[in-house]
């Protein structure tokens, strides 16, 4: 058994100072038991805790470390940037350079605005859609998490799903009243809602692949129907690709599935591990944003030089020829290995993957939405998680979170992960 004494001591200190001892709920390990790991450093495919334990990491800071931790090109660029200052509160050429890179990869966007988090991006995109349409209501899908802004914590995924708290105290009923929720992948319910309410609906926001209740793929025709209906009724379609952007494919889920949304929200990867978010879309919608238009949105640290630098270097690396074929090969190898390990161990699981994000559910039910995701055995996952951690493999500490693989993961890493999974699955 591994020694976690230093992490335990730090957690006890943190509990007196920080709500729940953590600065984001799922980190608390409550869904899997035990105490959270306190990480000291990371490099490549590995993270290292304060007790000196190393782990093959499939959390990857919840997605952004697609190149692996502390990638040399990103680190070098950041060192140079830090020497020039950390924040100016003024425009820089770096903002333009990153915007050009993003718009080239995501041609559905004519203009993009940088912010500091995915929550800011989704909140701002919805405000822009409301300002553009003059309508108040939004549609979101059960289990899709779009940050913790008021009005979006209605049947949300991520930490809300993990803790069984799909609706949050502190959100006024008047906010929630303007949020209409639908089951993901339910075309009949989608058609019915839009045909009934379209005159008051400003936008539909969706994770095109749901990454906050694991990894739920869209059924054939679902996204196509959504695009057709929103276009017909003048409803702004927002793809929240904070997680799926650069993960499902280089051009995100919209490129992979061939759907062109009106607005896109990005984050994670375009900050190269630093806090960042972005929202963009059609010129006529983005022209509503202040100072060009009347819809106000601002941020002192938006477009800060460190995040822009890390994002630029990350996208440059991802743009190199053959990178995504390498990433797909590694992802496929992990998928085949984990499915085979479950079969050999006699475990009942469902595995889903979209590009380099994935999830194993402990259920016999095909997972297509929030309801079926919740059939997964969280207790069994908890035991699996603990055994994997003890064998040196770091997974997200919840059945309802996606895993990620990076370019830094080696065949040896994957082989060790599959071996560990087989042994763990046999014993749960």
Residue 367 lies in a domain: no
- 104: β partners: none
| Per-residue pLDDT tens digits for 250-269 | 999 999 999 999 999 999 89
Q: How much is the pLDDT for 153? A: 67
Tell me the C-alpha distance between 125 and 282, whole Å: 11
Q: How much is the pLDDT for 174? A: 72
Question: Is the pLDDT at 391 greater than 90, yes or no?
Answer: yes
Tell me the C-alpha distance between 287 and 298, whole Å: 15
* Reported confidence tier of residue 147, pLDDT bands at 50, 70, 90: confident
Q: Known catalytic residues?
A: 145, 240, 268
* Reported confidence tier of residue 14, pLDDT bands at 50, 70, 90: very high
Question: Is the pLDDT at 155 greater than 60, yes or no?
Answer: no
* Reported confidence tier of residue 149, pLDDT bands at 50, 70, 90: confident
What's the distance, Cα to Cα, between the start and end of the chain in Å?
Answer: 17
Q: How much is the pLDDT for 169? A: 72
Contact (Cβ atoms closer than 8 angstroms) between residue 366 and residue 372: yes
Domain that holds residue 267: 72-318
Residue 421 lies in a domain: no
Residue 309 lies in a domain: yes
Q: Which one, of 197, 216, 198, 196, lies nearest residue 206 by Cα?
A: 216
Class of residue 90 by CB neighbours under 10 A (exposed 0-12, middle 13-18, buried 19+): exposed
| Per-residue pLDDT tens digits for 332-359 | 999 999 999 999 999 999 999 999 999 9
Q: How much is the pLDDT for 166? A: 44
Tell me the C-alpha distance between 332 and 328, whole Å: 6
Tell me the C-alpha distance between 332 and 367, whole Å: 20
| Per-residue pLDDT tens digits for 280-295 | 999 999 999 999 999 9
Question: Is the pLDDT at 160 greater than 60, yes or no?
Answer: no
Q: How much is the pLDDT for 156? A: 52
Residue 340 lies in a domain: no
Residue 111 lies in a domain: yes
Tokens of 162: 């993990």
* Reported confidence tier of residue 161, pLDDT bands at 50, 70, 90: very low
Residue 401 lies in a domain: no
Q: Which one, of 350, 351, 383, lies nearest residue 34 by Cα?
A: 383
Residue 391 lies in a domain: no
CA dihedral 277, 282, 287, 291 (to 10 degrees): 10
Question: Is the pLDDT at 45 greater than 50, yes or no?
Answer: yes
| Per-residue pLDDT tens digits for 191-246 | 999 999 999 999 999 999 999 999 999 999 999 999 999 999 999 999 999 999 99
Tell me the C-alpha distance between 178 and 269, whole Å: 31
Average pLDDT of the segment spanning 31-54: 96
Computed on alpha carbons and rounded to an integer, the radius of gyration of the chain in Å comes to 21
Instruction: Please give the model's pTM, rounded to 2 decimal places.
Output: 0.94
CATH number at residue 107: 3.40.640.10
| Per-residue pLDDT tens digits for 80-135 | 999 999 999 999 999 999 999 999 999 999 999 999 999 999 999 999 999 999 99
CA torsion sign for 306, 310, 313, 316 is negative
Residue 220 lies in a domain: yes
Q: How much is the pLDDT for 154? A: 62
Give the chain's domain count: 1
Those residues whose C-beta lies under 8 Å from the C-beta of residue 375, and which sit 6 or more positions away, are 363, 365, 367
Contact (Cβ atoms closer than 8 angstroms) between residue 314 and residue 130: no
Average pLDDT of the segment spanning 374-393: 97
Q: How much is the pLDDT for 167? A: 61
């Amino acid at each position: 058994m591994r020694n976690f004494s230093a992490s335990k001591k730090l957690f006890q200190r943190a509990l007196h100072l920080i709500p729940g001892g953590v600065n984001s709920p799922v980190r608390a390990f409550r869904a899997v038991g035990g105490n959270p790991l306190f990480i000291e450093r990371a490099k490549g495919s590995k993270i290292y805790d304060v007790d000196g334990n190393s782990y093959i990491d499939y959390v990857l800071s919840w997605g952004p470390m697609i190149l692996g931790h502390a990638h040399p090109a990103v680190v070098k660029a950041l060192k140079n940037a830090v020497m020039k200052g950390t924040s100016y509160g003024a425009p820089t050429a770096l903002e333009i350079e990153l915007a050009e890179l993003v718009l080239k990869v995501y041609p559905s966007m004519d203009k993009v605005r940088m912010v500091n988090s995915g929550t800011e991006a989704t909140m701002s995109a919805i405000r822009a859609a409301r300002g553009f349409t003059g309508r108040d209501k939004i549609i979101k899908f059960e289990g899709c998490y779009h940050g913790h802004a008021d009005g979006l914590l209605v049947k949300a995924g991520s930490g809300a799903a993990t803790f069984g708290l799909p609706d949050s105290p502190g959100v006024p009923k008047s906010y929630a009243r303007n949020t209409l929720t639908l089951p993901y992948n339910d075309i009949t319910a989608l058609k019915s809602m839009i045909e009934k309410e379209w005159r008051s609906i400003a936008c539909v926001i969706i994770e095109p692949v749901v990454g906050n209740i694991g990894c739920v793929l869209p059924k054939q025709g679902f996204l196509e129907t959504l695009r057709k209906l929103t276009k017909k009724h003048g409803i702004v379609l927002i793809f929240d690709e904070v997680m799926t952007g650069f993960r499902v494919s280089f051009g995100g889920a919209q490129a992979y599935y061939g759907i062109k949304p009106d607005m896109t929200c990005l984050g994670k990867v375009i900050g190269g591990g630093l806090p960042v978010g972005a929202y963009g879309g059609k010129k006529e919608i983005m022209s509503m944003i202040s100072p060009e238009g009347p819809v106000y949105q601002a941020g002192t640290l938006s477009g800060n030089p460190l995040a822009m630098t890390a994002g630029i270097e990350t996208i440059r690396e991802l743009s190199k020829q053959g990178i995504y074929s390498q990433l797909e090969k590694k992802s496929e190898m992990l998928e085949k290995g984990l499915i085979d390990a479950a079969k050999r161990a006699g475990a009942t699981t469902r595995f889903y993957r979209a590009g380099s994000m994935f999830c194993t559910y402990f259920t016999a039910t095909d997972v297509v939405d929030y309801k079926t995701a919740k059939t997964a055995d969280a207790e069994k996952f908890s035991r699996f998680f603990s055994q994997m951690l003890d064998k040196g493999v770091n997974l997200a500490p919840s059945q309802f979170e996606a895993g990620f693989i990076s370019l830094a993961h080696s065949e040896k890493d994957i082989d060790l992960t599959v071996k560990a999974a087989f042994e763990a699955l046999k014993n749960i």
